Amino acid sequence: MIDPFTAIAAATAAFNGIKKGIEVGKDLTSMGSQLQNWSKAISDLDFAHEKASKPPAYKMFTNTQSHALEAWTAKQKANELRNELKNHISFVYGPSAWKELVIIEGQMRKEQKEAVYRKQEAVDTAINWVLGIVVAAISLGLISVVIYFVGKSQGRW
C-alpha cells in the first residue's frame, strides 16, 4: 500500500519545485516533471485515503484507524498545498492555467490508476480470495472432524 507520509513528502517537494519555478519566471510547460510529480503524489494520496477508508478484508485485524488518520492528515496537508498552489498559479498565470493543470492532474490520475492501482487492487482481491478459501477449507475440515467424532461417540460408524 502507498504510504501517506511518502506521498505527502513527494507532493511537498513537487510543490516547492513548482513554486520556486514560478518565482523565477519559468513557464508552466517547462516544469513538466514537477507537475507530473505533483499529480502523481496527489493521486497516491487520494488512493491511500480511499484504501484507508475501505481497507481490504485481510487487513481487518490490523490497526486501520491509525492508517486512516495518517491518510486523512496527509490529505488535509495536500489540500492546503493545493489551495496555495492554485492561488499562486492563478495569480501569476491566470485562472485558465489552473484549469489546464487540473486537466493534466486528472489525466495523471487516470494513468496512475491504470498502471499502479489496478495491480494493488488485484493483489488485494487475490489475497482476499485465498484467505477466504483457506478459512472455508479449515472450517469445513473442523466441521467434518466434529461430525466424525459425534457420529463415532454415538456408535454410528
> pLDDT at position 57, please?
67
Task: Check if the beta carbon of residue 19 is closer than 8 Å to that of residue 88.
Answer: yes
Cα end-to-end distance, the chain, whole Å: 51
Q: pLDDT per residue over 98-137, tens digit each?
A: 888 888 778 877 887 777 778 888 888 898 899 899 999 9
* Whether pLDDT at 1 is above 60: no
Q: Residues 6 or more apart from 48 whose CB is under 8 A from it?
A: 1, 2, 3, 4, 7, 71, 74
Mean pLDDT for the chain? 83
Hey, what amino acid is at 157?
W
Hey, what amino acid is at 100?
E
Task: Check if the beta carbon of residue 4 is closer than 8 Å to that of residue 71.
Answer: yes
**Poorest-confidence range of 47-56, 82-91, 127-136?**
47-56
3-state secondary structure of 133: helix
Q: Can you state the angle between helices 64-93 and 32-53, rounded to 10 degrees?
A: 150
Q: Is the CA virtual torsion 98, 101, 107, 112 positive or negative?
A: negative
> pLDDT at position 134, please?
94
The DSSP line for 73-91 is HHHHHHHHHHHHHHHHHHH
**Measured distance CA(76)–CA(70) in Å, rounded:** 10
Residue-range domain boundaries for the chain: 4-116
Lookup result for grid cell 484507524: 65
> pLDDT at position 59, please?
64
